Structure 1
Amino acid sequence: MKQFLLSVFLLTACFSASAQFPVGGTLGGGARKSTVTGRIVATILDSVSRKPIDYATVTLLKTSDNKSVNGGVTDDKGRIVLQNIAPDSYKLAIGFMGYNTKTVLVKTTPEKPDNNLGTIYIAPSANSLKDVTVVGQRAMIENKVDRLVYNAEADITNAGGDATDVMRKVPMLSVDASGNVQLRGGAVRVLINGKPSGTMANSVADALKMIPAEQIKSVEVITSPSAKYDAEGSGGIINIITKKNNAQGISGSVNASAGTRQNNGNVSLNAKSGRLGFTSNVGGIYAYPQESKVLSLTQTQTPDGFYTIQSTGLSNWTRKGLNGTAGLDYDINSYHNVSTNVKLSTFSNGGPGSSDVLLNQVLSRNTSNMDMGFNNVDWTADYRKTSKKEGEELVVSGQATYGRNPTNFANTLVVPNAPVVITTGSNRGKNNEYTGQVDYTYPFSKKVILETGLKGIFRTIISDILDDPSRNFDYSQDVASAYGVMTFPIGKKLTAKAGLRAEYTQIGATSGTSATFENDYFNLFPSVVLSQTLKGMSTVKVSYNRRLQRPSLFYLNPFENRSDQFNIMRGNPMLSPELSDNFEIGYSTFIKGSVINASLFYRTTGDIIESIIAPITENGITRNLTTYQNIGRSPSYGLNLFGSYNPKPKWTLMSNLSFNTYEVNNQTTGVNTGTFLNYSVFGRSAYALNKGWSTEVWGVINSPRRTFQGKTDAMYFYGAAVKKEIFNKKASIGVNVLNPFNRDLNIKTVNTTPVSVQSQDIYYPLRSFGINFSYSFGKLKFTQKKTIKNDDLKQGDQGAGQVGGMGGGTNR
């Protein structure tokens, strides 16, 4: 490896500020019977774990008449501030699901209008069984300062599905039938427990299908990542948190689901004794082969006139996979901790297919077989050091990822009065990645915090094309980065978080017998977030950040996938990274237990990567070649609205509306798509009945989607579930349904080039009926460890161009 340049820059900042603020009667405008008002402050913690409880309900009642005069919910640190409190005697009532309600007497006087109650502990309810510690159930959606959290484990309709099904219900995300995920119309980086995974290196869509929904605890959507994060993801970052965390004592769970579409199983076991902790998880997924159908029509203008290919294709693909993790965690003493984790996964997707093809009105027959595999090992090791100074932390992390992704296909084309054409292909993809990282956090005070760190990523990507070694592909990519982030207050209620990240990238690539291609580039990525706290638990946030997306193996691999020999797919090793600038303003508030969040954003992305279709002629037959190019600059405006409302204490209504524009311009090539509006609508209604019963219905609508060459029609998904808690709430059993009134999800796509038109009508089997069972044991008190986060690659958005069980001889 050539000399590797590490860019280190100065990331410290000095500032000083002092201000005096009036206290007492002028704050809040006064009360009706007194010109003096004050505030009541408290921090709510779990009495067992000593951790903050966010979204706990706090109500202030007058002692004299027991009437409510103020209230709110706690923030992510468990803190609550009640403003404009007239001097009097009060009762502070604190409640949260799964905890005993606690009441604290409070008194304020004109001489001392402010009362800081300090830390208040609330205990889990009596439903905490002898061997199970019941933790308070979180809200389905939590809106935090820098992220939105969807708590998947609280959604009973997820049972029996996979991570793709979960993503469809996360606010601000849009997911098509292939599993392609976008955040507000932009590309995203997907992490698992804050870490990259080799399963995501080739195709996110296929990787998400490998994860049973029962393994997912929550999904974090980070729209404005700070400079601490790798710069990858023009739309932002998605972090999937699984249920395999450390636990005190011995705990575990068993989940199983069976349905008409797929079966899932998952077993976890966690133990901690003294300073040593152990975590483990094993899961599997099996999707039955179901018939998918694709109708395709391609018309290409040639010197001899129009060449037409019309086909009706059927395929029966099977998806199956296994994954497992095991980890050790050891506390050397109160300030030193070491941990390690190994994750293994294997997944296959493929099967037979056939299609009847009209080649210029000549009926032909194509039969096929396709198999794609994804096998990965991820190993991490971390050392964490804290000190007596609260908040100070040093973390040293290492990670190694080994991926093997084989692809094999065979096609037989029978044309009347012509020799039989047999086409085969075999590719062995390898993706090795090594990472070293150091992060340091130093709090100058509770409100002034410095975060800084260094990181190096070393990637090697190899594509061995067994049928044609002259087209083998070797690719190396090394990335060095450094960052600094400072959090500090401006005035009394305004908080700023500003940072800068520097990344240097060095690339070397060899394709076949061509000369080695070399490239290197240096980028600076600033980030700024300003957050203002308003009255009534409302917050306004303004942010800016610059992001980058480097193409991964999915986009770079020059291997020609001819599983559908009339629609060939090939990567482009000459792709450049995308660069985007993101601006956002957001507002969130809580009104009597209801949550409202609104955000406006503007994003401009240069060298945006999209798929392109071009006709090619081979042996007198015209085919379509799909590859990838940097097509131009894409400006986008957007709006996101989220609301949650409880008409009754046990009834929750939730909705999310997302809008964004699509446009691509390129003065050099003449590309100008015009401006189109994309939207996504999500709605949910959940009701908790008596005796442990609960029910839920939900629905998602995605608008038509545009690319610079075409359009995909709108799609919708809907489902329902019923669950019953049994065995003294240690277990539950439930039934769920997905798209019960439509067997297939029908997706129509039309792509247009200067010399061709391609239309494709996909019928993908989606309807599903299922039953699920879950059982938990032990003391479920989870903790999360900090570790490596590689989030710098643009990941493949389609499983080798297929739609779930689609492929084989099906024409796209």
Structure 2
Amino acid sequence: MKRIILLLAGLGLILNTKAQFPIGGLAPAKSKITGRITALILDSATKQPIDYASISLTKAKKSVNGGVSDGKGKVTLQNVIPDEYNFVVGFLGYKTKTLTVKTTPEKPDQNLGTIYLTSSTGSLKEVEISGQRALIENKVDKLVYNAEADITNAGGDASDVMRKVPMLSVDINGNVQLRGSSVRVLINGKPSGTMANSVADALKMIPAEQIKSVEVITSPSAKYDAEGSGGIINIITKKNTAEGTSGSVNASAGTRSNNGAFNLNVKTGRLAVTTSLGINHAYPQNSSVVTLNNSVVNGASNTISQNGFSKWSRLGYNGSAGLDYDLNGYNNFSTNVKVNNFSNGGPGSSDVYVNGVFSQNIRDMDMSFNNLDWSADYRKTSKREGEEFSASAQLSTGRNGSDFSNKFLSPGIADVIVLGSNTGKNNEYTVQSDYTYPFNKTTTLETGVKGIFREISSDYDVSAQDFDYNQNVASAYGVLGFKLTKKITAKAGVRAEYTKIDGLAGNALNFDNDYFNLFPSLILSQTLKGMTTVKLSYNRRIQRPSLFYLNPFRNESDVFNPMEGNPKLSPELTDNIELGYSTYIKGSVINASVFYRNTGDVIESAIQPFVDDQGVGKNLTTYINVGTSQSYGFNVFGSYNPKPKWTLMANFGLNTYEVNNAESDLNTGTFLNYTAFARSAYSISGGWSTELWGVINSPKRTFQGKTDMMYFYGGAVKKEILKKKATIGLNVLNPFSRDLNIKTTNKTATSMQSTNIHYPLRSFGVNFSYNFGKLKFTQKKSIKNDDLKKDESQQQGGGMGGLQGN
């Protein structure tokens, strides 16, 4: 606790001493005024417009902006800082044309008029210009997928977008992994209570049209919270700072689910106000569920089989309101509030055979979640370009509800009823301050402090089993970015985190734990010939278990396979080493990486056989620290344009799985996990576009068993309407197979548990999207809480609830 007090004292010191910035050193920052450059691209011979001509705005041989011409040959480059540039225009089969353009603060907008391209005289095969705008960017510490440049995203949701991002694998439930490991998902650099509870549900509530880009941070620097063994995914949404009013309306309806979203942005002078509302509803559908338990009880074989169905549905809504105000040219204040509510569940029935004795179980399950996130951010810049100070505070409060009932009907026996109820409460308070100081044009220091204070409680229907848990995390970091040579960029840093935990489970189990960790990070990036880069990185990460893993509440919605958390879990600690390579060859993108990952105290689910009061053998599912894991792997992503309007994408990732524990004499051996994704998108004249895609996920291993392979595929066709302000489309998922079958098997020395699920996957839908007003997008810094490991079933939308809600 003393360290936390000292940290907060340091935060106060920074707030007092950094409010005023020195002005010496670098030249004053450039004007904040930005403008636009417009032009019309025509064929010199036919005088017809050239659509999808590639435009690049460069300075000192470095691209700073770009775009493509529309169907009428028009192009507009927004947010151009006043300066002198080269305006480069090219297209397949035409000679490249370069013009010099200069904008000033007094005249930030430039109309270049009509630019004529002439046919190239050489072979078309020698032309290296691609008319397709690049979807992938490689930066020193992350890979960026520019979703707004992908015209086929209209009508989908964030899950659809994530499936197209290099190195990510997304199963049909929305469970996201980065190269076979868990990953932390942020929205605009900050956590969300909804995302913390259910990644799948949160992604389904974000229309694809709202996403500007997705950042894949495989090697987070010490600036980020140390949570997430696989890395961090940051979804950047579109935001409006233009004068006037703008917004969007999105809606989709299908045979399995429906969703809608409305966004409104208003800006006048230095004040901007944003608001949004979204809703999602999944139809109730029957899923076949077959489970089998075999165990040895007192030397005798014990068999329990269940054959039945679950009829789950999902309903959710979210809303937000935000305010952004520029006090002057150097001071900005913003605040935002979000509310989210989800519920899923439904009835079910099973035929049950316990050692050959028949009974029927009529059950019902209901899970709910509601959350409120409120944040306030202050940002101060100075005349020194790149210098920035920020202070942020965030409150997140959430409630989880879980209620179930089981009614057993057996001939000649009185009905047996099993009931259960649990309410989980999570209050989280965060304060954070960050400071960036550029010593010169090539060397920058980033530093900051942060405090997170969590109060978690779980109230049972039996009060003696209540669970109270407090977790406080204090951290500080320093990162130095600099140039080793003209072509080699480096980022080196270290983060210190102190964690204090105490809690009470029931009336007897008290626990107290605290630990201090250092998390170093190093990234080296070298630019080779052309647009080729090589990156080498190292970092250390941690994953603390969240409430789902810790909560000792026993969920007996399946009385023969109950589940409960483990409050004694230790956090995972992971060391990552990665070597990455990326290049652009004649309009094609290739990104490849190899990595090594070592994780201690790996957290996995485990079945533990036990005998109840009636002598029936059952399997309890809980979570334990199973041992140490070493994993090697690689990932290859490629994008190719056979034609300017045709994009082919493919991604393949492979990694090893192996867990060892000398104390328990555990050695799983080495297994291979892989994921593959392929996509073809084609744009047709007249505003039409088509897309086909497919995903394969290999069997997933755990130390006790595996989940079988899954594959799914889909397609879409879309049309621009209403003067390109709107799109309407049709989509289909798994049209040739009605059900998706997922089988999971776990084994111990004396028991076996098998679950076989068939649920309807095939779906058809229609979507509509409409944008109004003038859009201009910016991004603000804010709190980033990314330090809790999330349960897999949470990521999958709450187990069967997620399965049924797609």
TM range (shorter): 0.7 to 0.9
2:401 equivalent to 1:410: no
Question: What per-residue deviation string (whole Å, max 9, x for no partner) do you get for residues 18-77 of structure 1?
Answer: xxxxxxxxxxxxxxxxxxxxxxxxxxx9x9955999xxxxxxxxxxxxxxxxx9997xx9
Deviates more, 1:118-127 or 1:154-163: 118-127
After superposition, the Cα gap between the structure-2 partners of 1:557 and 1:155, relative to the gap in structure 1 and judged at 3 Å, is farther
Q: Are the aligned partners of 2:240 and 2:246 in contact in 1 as well (CA < 8 Å)?
A: no
2:497 equivalent to 1:522: no
Give the match for residue 57 of structure 1: none
What is the root-mean-square deviation in Å for CA atoms of aligned residues?
3.3
Q: Distance in 1 between matches of 2:660 and 2:594?
A: 22
Give the alignment partner of residue 286 of structure 2, picking from 268, 273, 291.
Answer: 291
Give the match for residue 600 of structure 1: 594
Give the match for residue 196 of structure 2: 201
CA drift at 1:411 = 0.9
Give the alignment partner of residue 234 of structure 2, picking from 211, 224, 239.
Answer: 239
Q: Distance in 1 between matches of 2:36 and 2:625?
A: 47
SS of the aligned residue for 1:674 comes to coil
CA drift at 1:512 = 0.8
2:565 equivalent to 1:590: no
Give the match for residue 609 of structure 1: 603
Matching residue's letter, 1:81: K
Give the alignment partner of residue 802 of structure 1, picking from 775, 799, 803.
Answer: 799
Q: Are the aligned partners of 2:599 and 2:629 in contact in 1 as well (CA < 8 Å)?
A: yes
Give the alignment partner of residue 454 of structure 2, picking from 459, 473, 477.
Answer: 459
Q: Distance in 1 between matches of 2:350 and 2:112?
A: 61
Give the alignment partner of residue 512 of structure 1, picking from 500, 506, 509.
Answer: 506
Q: How does 1:204-353 map to 2 (within 5 A)?
A: 204-353=199-348
Give the match for residue 541 of structure 1: 535
CA drift at 1:750 = 1.3
Give the alignment partner of residue 526 of structure 2, picking from 526, 532, 540.
Answer: 532
Matching residue's letter, 1:804: G
Question: What per-residue deviation string (whole Å, max 9, x for no partner) do you get for residues 96-137 of structure 1?
Answer: 35563999599xxxxxxxx9979789979999xxxxxxxx99
Q: Are the aligned partners of 1:693 and 1:723 in contact in 2 as well (CA < 8 Å)?
A: yes
Q: Distance in 1 between matches of 2:383 and 2:36?
A: 18
Q: How does 1:648-727 map to 2 (within 5 A)?
A: 648-727=643-722
Q: How does 1:162-181 map to 2 (within 5 A)?
A: 162-181=157-176
CA drift at 1:479 = 0.5
Give the match for residue 773 of structure 1: 768
Q: Are the aligned partners of 2:36 and 2:76 in contact in 1 as well (CA < 8 Å)?
A: no
Give the match for residue 478 of structure 1: 472
CA drift at 1:632 = 0.4
SS of the aligned residue for 2:736 comes to coil
Give the match for residue 45 of structure 2: none
CA drift at 1:206 = 4.3
SS of the aligned residue for 2:433 comes to strand
SS of the aligned residue for 1:541 comes to strand
Across the two proteins, how many residue pairs are aligned to each other? 733
Matching residue's letter, 1:490: L
Give the match for residue 566 of structure 1: 560
After superposition, the Cα gap between the structure-2 partners of 1:345 and 1:104, relative to the gap in structure 1 and judged at 3 Å, is closer
Question: What per-residue deviation string (whole Å, max 9, x for no partner) do you get for residues 730-786 of structure 1?
Answer: 111110111111111111111111111122211122211001111111011111111
Give the alignment partner of residue 580 of structure 1, picking from 570, 574, 578.
Answer: 574
SS of the aligned residue for 1:798 comes to helix
Give the match for residue 361 of structure 2: 366
2:546 equivalent to 1:552: yes
CA drift at 1:623 = 1.9
Give the match for residue 68 of structure 2: 96
After superposition, the Cα gap between the structure-2 partners of 1:265 and 1:95, relative to the gap in structure 1 and judged at 3 Å, is closer
Q: Are the aligned partners of 1:177 and 1:804 in contact in 2 as well (CA < 8 Å)?
A: no
CA drift at 1:158 = 5.2
Give the alignment partner of residue 61 of structure 2, picking from 81, 86, 97.
Answer: 81
2:442 equivalent to 1:444: no
Q: Are the aligned partners of 1:100 and 1:122 in contact in 2 as well (CA < 8 Å)?
A: no
Q: Are the aligned partners of 2:573 and 2:600 in contact in 1 as well (CA < 8 Å)?
A: yes
Matching residue's letter, 2:401: P
CA drift at 1:169 = 3.4
Q: Distance in 2 between matches of 1:477 and 1:261?
A: 40
SS of the aligned residue for 1:201 comes to helix
Question: What per-residue deviation string (whole Å, max 9, x for no partner) do you get for residues 554-582 of structure 1?
Answer: 11111111112221110111111000000
Q: Distance in 2 between matches of 1:101 and 1:330?
A: 27
Give the alignment partner of residue 647 of structure 1, picking from 642, 656, 674.
Answer: 642
Aligned-residue sequence identity (percent) comes to 65
SS of the aligned residue for 2:194 comes to helix
Question: What per-residue deviation string (whole Å, max 9, x for no partner) do you get for residues 612-667 of structure 1?
Answer: 01122212222221100010000000101011111111111111111111000000
After superposition, the Cα gap between the structure-2 partners of 1:245 and 1:308, relative to the gap in structure 1 and judged at 3 Å, is farther
Q: Distance in 2 between matches of 1:253 and 1:739?
A: 29
Matching residue's letter, 2:531: M
After superposition, the Cα gap between the structure-2 partners of 1:48 and 1:153, relative to the gap in structure 1 and judged at 3 Å, is same
SS of the aligned residue for 1:440 comes to strand
After superposition, the Cα gap between the structure-2 partners of 1:557 and 1:95, relative to the gap in structure 1 and judged at 3 Å, is closer
Deviates more, 1:385-394 or 1:189-198: 189-198
TM-score, normalization: structure 1?
A: 0.85
Q: Distance in 2 between matches of 1:782 and 1:531?
A: 28
Q: Are the aligned partners of 1:464 and 1:472 in contact in 2 as well (CA < 8 Å)?
A: yes
TM-score, normalization: structure 2?
A: 0.85
After superposition, the Cα gap between the structure-2 partners of 1:562 and 1:141, relative to the gap in structure 1 and judged at 3 Å, is farther
Q: Distance in 2 between matches of 1:101 and 1:50?
A: 10
After superposition, the Cα gap between the structure-2 partners of 1:774 and 1:652, relative to the gap in structure 1 and judged at 3 Å, is same
Q: Distance in 1 between matches of 2:503 and 2:519?
A: 26
Q: Distance in 2 between matches of 1:366 and 1:669?
A: 38
Q: Are the aligned partners of 2:207 and 2:250 in contact in 1 as well (CA < 8 Å)?
A: no
After superposition, the Cα gap between the structure-2 partners of 1:561 and 1:170, relative to the gap in structure 1 and judged at 3 Å, is farther
Q: Are the aligned partners of 1:453 and 1:484 in contact in 2 as well (CA < 8 Å)?
A: yes
CA drift at 1:166 = 3.8
CA drift at 1:154 = 5.0
CA drift at 1:213 = 4.4
Matching residue's letter, 1:190: V
After superposition, the Cα gap between the structure-2 partners of 1:697 and 1:52, relative to the gap in structure 1 and judged at 3 Å, is farther
After superposition, the Cα gap between the structure-2 partners of 1:268 and 1:101, relative to the gap in structure 1 and judged at 3 Å, is closer
CA drift at 1:80 = 6.5
SS of the aligned residue for 2:464 comes to helix
Q: Are the aligned partners of 1:210 and 1:347 in contact in 2 as well (CA < 8 Å)?
A: no
Q: Are the aligned partners of 2:247 and 2:265 in contact in 1 as well (CA < 8 Å)?
A: yes
CA drift at 1:180 = 2.8
Question: What per-residue deviation string (whole Å, max 9, x for no partner) do you get for residues 483-504 of structure 1?
Answer: 0000011122111100010000
Q: Are the aligned partners of 1:160 and 1:259 in contact in 2 as well (CA < 8 Å)?
A: no
Q: Distance in 1 between matches of 2:156 and 2:778?
A: 26
2:727 equivalent to 1:732: yes
Q: Distance in 1 between matches of 2:10 and 2:370?
A: 41
Deviates more, 1:558-567 or 1:568-577: 558-567
CA drift at 1:417 = 3.5
Matching residue's letter, 1:651: W
CA drift at 1:8 = 9.4
